[in-house]
Amino acid sequence: MIIENLIRENIKSLKPYSSAREEFKNSASNLVYLDANENPFDTGLNRYPDPQQNLVKAALAKIKNVSREQLLLGNGSDEVLDLIFRVFCEPKVDTVIALPPTYGMYEVLANTNDVGLIENYQPNVDEILKAQNSQTKLLFLCSPNNPTANSFNADKIETLIKKFTGIVVIDEAYIDFSSQESWTRRLNEFPNLIVIQTLSKAYGLAGIRLGACYSSTKIISVLNKIKPPYNVNQLTQQTALKALQNSIKTNNEIAIIISERNQLIIDLEEISFIVKVYPSDANFLLVKVDNAIVRYHQLVEHKIIVRNRTNLPLCENCLRFTVGTKEENKKLMNTLKLL
Ligand SMILES: Cc1ncc(COP(=O)(O)O)c(C=O)c1O
């Protein structure tokens, strides 16, 4: 597969903006910076951040065992997803495939970028491959999937990566809660593979907005051309670096969340109006109830906010419960028993 042929012509010929911090790189101290129209009075934040987030990338690259050149960071994975659309999809011409019910931003970004969305409701490899044509540039596989919480079968993913004629984007926002291995391990085998991850879930840093994109150096270099110069701010870079250096805390929290999730599955099955608790490879549970609208409002009255997913395809009467702390989950269970 020749990746170059999938990239939009205007992006291929685009000359990226060159920021002051890109043009002059030097780690020497006592330099007088008069190049970026910054305020010279030191607040700790008066300088623009590193546009390539080198320290954060070095930490992530080490953890994920990839090279820094295979990594792009964004203002949340939502920004990364948008960059992918803009590199590969010609508005009004190209199409992408998503597999509903899934993460809603694929559809929103397709609409924002004026790109056709092909939806395949029963994710079956043959059907997905049949749905593509020469204008289909991206296939989104969310694994573990939001809101269903299940992972896509690894053999099926591999077949899709090998046979799909565009780019396969595997969204691994919830991978740290999963029993499956990350596809970042296999990046070097597949030139058309992009893996997206985030610090918003397992790392407990949704507030800083940091998403990561792993792919071939070729794809990363093109995404880099169009990213806003300082898309990851200084505070985010500092906080992310600290978190990445404290894997014990993160791993401990992941273990607690998984254990709480498994206990919640057992407890929820005891509730009379719960029809089904779907298996989960993530930090949330999709739960079918007798009447999602009624149960949602009852929970709100008890100050417990869950997500009503009943309007999504194949999710009739389904609520999505994020796994909380032990105390929060206990409160959820005690409340459900009262309803
Ligand atoms: C599957 C999936 N991908 C991406 C995101 C967005 O992640 P971020 O906070 O990094 O933008 C979410 C958020 O809920 C998600 O569920």
pLDDT tens per residue across span 213-245: 999 999 999 999 999 999 999 999 999 999 999
Any ligand 1 atom below 6 A from CB of 267: no
Instruction: Please report the atom of ligand 1 found closest to the CA of residue 81.
Output: 4
The structure tokens 């990364």 sit at 80
Ligand 1 site-directed mutation target among 75, 78, 195, most atoms within 8 Å of CB: 78
What is the pLDDT averaged over residues 27-48?
Answer: 93
Q: From CA 227, how far away is CA 223, in angstroms rounded?
A: 6
Structure tokens at 255: 């273990």
Pairing type for strands 274-277 and 211-214 reads unpaired
What is the distance in A from the centroid of ligand 1 to the CA of 137?
A: 21
Query: b/e map of 209-245 (b: 16 or more CB within 10 Å)?
Result: bbbbbbbbeebbebbeebbeebbbbbebbbbbbebbe
Give yes or no for residue 122 having a pLDDT over 80. Answer: no
Predicted TM-score (pTM) of this structure: 0.97
What is the distance in A from the centroid of ligand 1 to the CA of 78?
A: 7
Q: Is the dihedral of CA 255, 257, 260, 264 positive or negative?
A: negative
pLDDT tens per residue across span 256-277: 999 999 999 999 999 999 999 9
Any ligand 1 atom below 6 A from CB of 198: yes
Bond prior to 144 in cis (omega within 30° of 0): yes
Instruction: Please report the atom of ligand 1 found closest to the CA of residue 78.
Output: 11
pLDDT tens per residue across span 156-194: 999 999 999 999 999 999 999 999 999 999 999 999 999
